[in-house]
Structure 1
Amino acid sequence: MVGNVIVGQSGGPTSVINSSLVGVYKTAKDRGANKVYGMLHGIKGLLDGQYVDLSEHIKTTLDIDLLKRTPSSFLGSCRYKLPEICDNKEVYEQIFAKLKELEISAFFYIGGNDSMDTIKKLSDYAILINSDIKFMGVPKTIDNDLAITDHTPGYGSAAKFIAASLKEIIRDGLVYDYPTITIVEIMGRNAGWLTAAAALSRSDDCEGVDMIYLPEKVFDIADFMEQVKKRSATGKSLVIAVSEGIKVADGRYVFELADHVEFVDAFGHKQLAGSAKFLADKIGSELGIKTRALEFSTLQRCAAHMTSRTDITEAFQVGGAAVKAAFEGETGKVVVLKRVSDDPYICITETHDVHKIANIEKKIPLEWITDDAYVTDDLIHYIRPLIQAELSPIMVDGLPRHLRLGDE
């Protein structure tokens, strides 16, 4: 297959999403693509006529090396939900008219669950109109909640940052001769993969976090307070990791128990924040213990200085594998990672039907979550290979150098 291809990035960024972009760009050029266009701000940008020729911005091997190490989405992102085909064909007609104008033969979208929904709908519409454009999904999300794939690029680096940062927080919390409590809020709406990475902080040189609370299990506030009271009575400082999406028995998020301003995005997702602060305030007022709340927030997805080499390598590989599959005739697929060995750790790429992945959320198996607010060794062994090795930033004047769109 020859012609032009187009690639976009969607949803929340990661520290390795641009490595997948490089994988798409370099593999497409190596396989003879004439032009590789980049959508600015995803499918929404394409609808608005915003795109660039990536060859004008990625010119040298240094550019490629910089882009691999650049956090966030080089092309910008969006959270735009395509309507159902039966509800609004005009949107699809606009998209396919633009793709025809650009002589696109393959379309690649780097993203998570909602992005795979876009690939599903576009590939379905292509079948309806007998279009020969190939549509491929490239997995990306720090949440690690895509179905079928062993894990998602972006998760390993975020897990590495979380575990490393918690080791440092634990050291800081132990300097006083009286107990303090630190509650760290970590991203994770319905799946606790990121928060589970806090367990990796326990090692030969570190006590590790004391408790881990994940959204897969109902959060019992009374039991939580009792655990804090009991454990702090020993005089030990505590560090507790909680997912932002933990819920109480009636289905409310913990942060909703306090006064808050609610924001809902285009996909109907509530903006989550404030669970750690609510719990810290409750401990302070009811138990009289010095407590602080920390939110890793965007730090966990943009900390490219803490990138896992395993993660950045796999991010590049899934981008390249998507191009290879499309050029060989596949469409309506998502590249997934399949773990074939734990020791040594080996993952290969495969493709799977997007209909079996889009809008399906992978959660932590309940048997990997213990009854004493922690996780099992099986879960730790699953995560550990994903954080291995480092890719040093390219430093200029003491700081990491990144590639920006428009830099010459």
Structure 2
Amino acid sequence: MPKKNAFYAQSGGVTAVINASACGVIETARQHSDSIGKVYAGHNGIIGALREDMIDTSHESDATIAALRHTPSGAFGSCRYKLKSLEENRAEYERLIEVFKAHDIGYFFYNGGGDSADTCLKVSQLSEKMGYPIQAIHIPKTVDNDLPFTDNCPGFGSVAKYVAVSTKEASLDVASMCESSTKVFILEVMGRHAGWIAAAGALAADSAGEPPHIILFPEVPFNEKEFLALVDKTVKEKGYCVIVASEGAQYNDGTLIAGSAHTDAFGHKQLGGVAPTLAALIKHELGYKYHWALADYLQRSARHIASATDVEQAYAVGKAAVEYALAGKNSVMVTIERHNGNGYRWELGEAPLDQVANIEKKMPSDFISRDGFGITQLARDYLSPLIAGEDYPPYKNGIPQYAKLAKVVVAKKLNTPFDI
């Protein structure tokens, strides 16, 4: 049976370790050159396939591909482009199959979150119906840690580490100045519907009572009166108050504390502004001087402080995706499975894509403290191993050195441009 080429693409918000998954895919494919031809990467994610705009990774040296393991962001470009349902726009999926067929692509590795899992599933299903079967394997990635069936998601551990470290360092700063200056500090972190990232801020504390003093989760309805009372109590008792707030924090009726009327390409409401909104509320109601910070892209691109656990797992799921495809598996997502018992041990598994797509995993209620403003020991036990270890990139003149790709474009074989 003649060997087929592979297509790899990155989707959604990138992470500090998504390129480690790309490294795992490409290096493993090269080790199986008797079964897999070339690995083509979509330029700007799935858009690259639709436009027949692909990068031939065979032109990248082994050293450059290896350097992807310690390079943040999406080396081949990502996108926020959600394919519609088959019923709404079958042409998009038919175009993908047409491009894959023209370039003799038999393997589809899609590296992303829930929306990409859905795309991966539909491509697999339609390719069968069109008589050109493609083995589609989803590679999990999301800083939000909200994919089902997998214990955790590559990308999350490094964000969690960044948030925990930033919370600890900022807390020391505020504590040193609280006598005559700032009383309240608020760090706004990512997390649309799930509070995993905000919860990680709690790892800054070595013992009870240490900052962060308050965490706001999307899963817990915001009670303004209780929040202000706790801020006031904390400042009076400790001299200052440190807050970690999820961008998706909301009132009991689902109204966001802060949110834009605009939506992104996935139809998600544009978030941001929780920290300044809370700061203004505290200033107006309590009169305390404040400072706030927005972690934003810094939290997901901070490869210099990546979790060693996260890097290892990100590479492993990319490697496994290729191995699963070669073993004949199809329409599955690679999962990380935690072992029970003492010590942290994990292995890889799989989950069927028809059960993964468009499902969000939120924080369990027993991970959130009874008052709704902190985490339990169960949550701490879950989170701590995920931020463990350091995996520093190489430095030159004090600056991290990251992979620089040649990005040689694959020659087009179709004469039909495709508008998106």
What SS does structure 2 have at the residue aligned with 1:169?
Answer: helix
Structure-2 separation of matches of 1:181 and 1:106: 52
* Higher mean C-alpha displacement, 197-206 vs 227-236: 197-206
Q: When the two structures are aligned, how many residues end up with a matched partner?
A: 402
Structure-2 separation of matches of 1:100 and 1:235: 65
Does the aligned pair in 1 maintain the 2:101–2:132 contact within 8 Å? no
Structure-1 separation of matches of 2:106 and 2:200: 40
Deviation at 1:352, TM superposition (A): 1.2
Matching of residue 189 in structure 1 with residue 188 in structure 2: no
Residue number among 30, 36, 53 corresponding to 1:50 in the alignment: 53
Structure-2 separation of matches of 1:125 and 1:131: 9
Structure-1 separation of matches of 2:188 and 2:353: 32
Match for residue 418 of structure 2?
none
Structure-2 separation of matches of 1:319 and 1:353: 17
Map residues 30-49 of structure 1 onto 2, 5 A cutoff: 30-32=31-33, 33-49=36-52
Q: 1:206 to 1:157 in 2, by over 3 A?
A: farther
Q: 1:164 to 1:235 in 2, by over 3 A?
A: closer
In structure 1, list runs of 5 or more residues that go unmatched.
none
Structure-1 separation of matches of 2:355 and 2:67: 35
Deviation at 1:154, TM superposition (A): 0.6
What SS does structure 2 have at the residue aligned with 1:138?
Answer: strand
Match for residue 18 of structure 2?
17
Structure-2 separation of matches of 1:283 and 1:88: 48
Match for residue 391 of structure 1?
391
Match for residue 79 of structure 1?
80
Residue number among 51, 57, 62 corresponding to 1:60 in the alignment: 62
Structure-1 separation of matches of 2:250 and 2:208: 33
Matching of residue 69 in structure 1 with residue 70 in structure 2: yes
Length-normalised TM-score, structure 1: 0.95
Does the aligned pair in 1 maintain the 2:14–2:74 contact within 8 Å? yes
Q: 1:407 to 1:356 in 2, by over 3 A?
A: closer
Match for residue 324 of structure 1?
323
Structure-2 separation of matches of 1:321 and 1:360: 22
Match for residue 267 of structure 1?
266
Q: 1:60 to 1:346 in 2, by over 3 A?
A: same
Deviation at 1:229, TM superposition (A): 1.7
Deviation at 1:343, TM superposition (A): 2.8
What SS does structure 2 have at the residue aligned with 1:223?
Answer: helix
Q: 1:204 to 1:247 in 2, by over 3 A?
A: closer
Q: 1:205 to 1:85 in 2, by over 3 A?
A: closer
Structure-2 separation of matches of 1:374 and 1:311: 24
Matching of residue 293 in structure 1 with residue 288 in structure 2: no
What SS does structure 2 have at the residue aligned with 1:183?
Answer: strand
Structure-2 separation of matches of 1:154 and 1:127: 32
Matching of residue 222 in structure 1 with residue 229 in structure 2: no
Deviation at 1:394, TM superposition (A): 0.7
Deviation at 1:111, TM superposition (A): 0.4
Match for residue 346 of structure 2?
347
Deviation at 1:263, TM superposition (A): 1.8
Does the aligned pair in 2 maintain the 1:338–1:347 contact within 8 Å? yes
* Higher mean C-alpha displacement, 326-335 vs 226-235: 226-235
Length-normalised TM-score, structure 2: 0.92
1:267 maps to amino acid: F
Does the aligned pair in 1 maintain the 2:55–2:407 contact within 8 Å? no
Structure-2 separation of matches of 1:389 and 1:158: 13
1:114 maps to amino acid: D
Structure-2 separation of matches of 1:121 and 1:304: 33
Q: Percent same amino acid at aligned positions?
A: 39
In structure 2, list runs of 5 or more residues that go unmatched.
409-420
Structure-1 separation of matches of 2:350 and 2:49: 25
Structure-1 separation of matches of 2:361 and 2:141: 14
Deviation at 1:302, TM superposition (A): 0.2
* Higher mean C-alpha displacement, 225-234 vs 374-383: 225-234
Structure-1 separation of matches of 2:205 and 2:66: 33
